[in-house]
C-alpha cells in the first residue's frame, strides 16, 4: 500500500496580496491569513483605512503592509505587485476581492458609467493582477489565485446588470485561467458569497436583511465576512493542490433553495 500523504494545511511564510482589504471580506481574509502566519499585502483605495487594517493586524502579532491603489489603474497594479514582491520576496497567493455595488437600470441615464466602473474594478482588475503576478505565482510552486465573484455570478437581481455581468465574467475568467495555468501549477478558483454583512450591504436595514434571509437563505441569516474568509483560506492551502476551476458558493444554501 502507498503511504498516506501528509499535505500541509499551513500558509505560514507565504506572501498574500488581498485587494479591497480595508473592509468586509477582504479585511477578514487579510486578518485570517496573517493569523495563519502569512505576510499580507493590504490593498485598498484610501490611506487611512488601509493603515487602520495594517495596524490591527500588526498589533495582533501578524505581518502586514499597506498599499493604496484604485484597482482600475492598470499601471498602478503593475507597480504595486512589483513593490509587494520586492518587500516580501515573492508572491504566492492573490485574492482579487475589491468590489462595489453597481445597481443601475439598463434604461436609466448614466448607465454606461456604472457599467464601465463595475467591469474595470470587478473584472479587468482581476485579469491585470493575474498578469502582473503570474511570474511570481509560477515561481512559488504553490501559486494560488482566488477571485471573489458572487451568487450574482450564477443568476441575477433585477436592475443589477453591470454587477451581474462583471461577476459572471469573473467565473468565466476563473475557469479559463484554471485551464490555462494548470500546467504552471497555479490554481485558480472563485468564491461566490451570498448575502454577507459588509460595507456593501451595511445600508440595508437589519429588518430587511432578516426578512430576506428568512425567506431565501436555508441558514436564515446573513453571513459574516469571517465565514467567507475561512473558505478562502481552505482554497489557498498547500493541501488544496488538486482544486482548480471551481466557483464555490458561500451563501448559507441560498442557491439550492427552491421554495
180-206 core/surface letters (b: 16 or more CB in 10 A; e: else): ebeeeebbbbbbbbbbbbbbbeeeeee
CB of 44 within 8 A of CB of 50?
A: yes
Least spacing, CB of residue 126 vs ligand NAI, in Å: 10
Distance CA 154, CA 239 (A): 27
Distance CA 229, CA 210 (A): 22
Least spacing, CB of residue 21 vs ligand NAI, in Å: 7
Instruction: Mark 189-218 with x for binding to ligand NAI (rule: CB under 6 A) and - for no binding.
Output: ----x-xx-xxxx-----------------
From 4-12, 32-40, 93-101, 129-137, span contacting ligand NAI (CB under 6 A): 93-101
**Which of 91, 247 has the CB closer to ligand NAI?**
247
Closest CA to 256 of 219, 208, 207, 209: 219
> ∠ CA(257), CA(213), CA(108), 5° rounding?
95
- CA dihedral 82→226→244→65, nearest 10 degrees, is 10
Least spacing, CB of residue 7 vs ligand NAI, in Å: 28
From 8-16, 22-30, 34-42, 171-179, span contacting ligand NAI (CB under 6 A): 22-30
**Which of 104, 140 has the CB closer to ligand NAI?**
104
Q: Which residues contact 169 (CB under 8 A, 6 or more apart)?
A: 119, 123
Residues 58-77 close enough to bind ligand NAI by CB under 6 A:
69-72
**Which of 15, 171 has the CB closer to ligand NAI?**
171
Residue 123 binds to ligand NAI (criterion: CB under 6 A): no
Total site size for ligand NAI, rule CB under 6 A: 29
Residue 116: CB atoms within 10 A of its CB come to 13
Distance CA 83, CA 72 (A): 18
Catalytic residues: 163
Residues 146-185 close enough to bind ligand NAI by CB under 6 A:
148, 150
Binding-site ranges for ligand NAI (CB under 6 A): 19-20, 22-26, 44-45, 69-72, 97-100, 121-122, 148, 150, 193, 195-196, 198-201, 225
Amino acid at each position: 500500500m502507498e503511504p498516506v500523504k501528509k499535505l500541509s494545511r499551513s500558509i505560514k511564510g507565504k506572501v498574500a496580496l488581498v485587494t479591497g482589504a480595508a473592509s468586509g471580506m477582504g479585511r477578514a481574509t487579510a486578518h485570517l491569513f496573517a493569523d495563519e502566519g502569512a505576510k499580507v499585502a493590504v490593498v485598498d483605495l484610501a490611506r487611512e483605512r488601509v493603515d487602520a487594517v495594517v495596524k490591527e493586524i500588526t498589533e495582533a502579532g501578524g505581518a502586514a503592509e499597506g498599499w493604496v491603489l484604485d484597482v482600475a489603474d492598470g499601471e498602478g497594479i503593475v507597480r504595486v505587485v512589483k513593490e509587494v514582491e520586492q518587500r516580501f520576496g515573492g508572491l504566492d497567493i492573490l485574492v482579487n476581492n475589491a468590489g462595489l455595488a453597481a445597481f443601475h437600470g439598463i434604461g436609466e441615464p448614466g448607465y454606461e458609467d456604472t457599467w464601465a466602473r463595475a467591469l474595470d474594478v470587478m473584472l479587468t482588475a482581476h485579469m491585470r493582477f493575474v498578469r502582473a503576478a503570474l511570474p511570481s505565482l509560477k515561481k512559488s510552486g504553490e501559486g494560488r489565485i482566488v477571485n471573489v465573484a458572487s451568487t450574482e455570478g450564477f443568476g441575477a437581481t433585477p436592475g443589477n446588470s453591470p454587477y451581474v455581468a462583471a461577476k459572471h465574467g469573473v467565473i468565466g475568467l476563473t475557469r479559463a485561467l484554471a485551464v490555462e495555468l494548470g500546467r504552471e501549477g497555479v490554481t485558480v478558483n472563485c468564491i461566490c458569497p451570498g448575502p454577507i454583512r459588509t460595507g456593501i450591504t451595511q445600508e440595508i436595514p437589519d429588518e430587511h436583511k432578516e426578512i430576506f434571509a428568512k425567506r431565501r437563505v436555508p441558514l436564515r441569516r446573513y453571513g459574516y465576512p469571517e465565514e467567507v474568509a475561512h473558505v478562502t483560506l481552505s482554497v489557498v492551502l498547500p493541501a488544496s493542490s488538486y482544486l482548480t476551476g471551481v466557483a464555490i458558493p458561500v451563501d448559507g444554501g441560498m442557491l439550492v433553495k427552491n421554495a
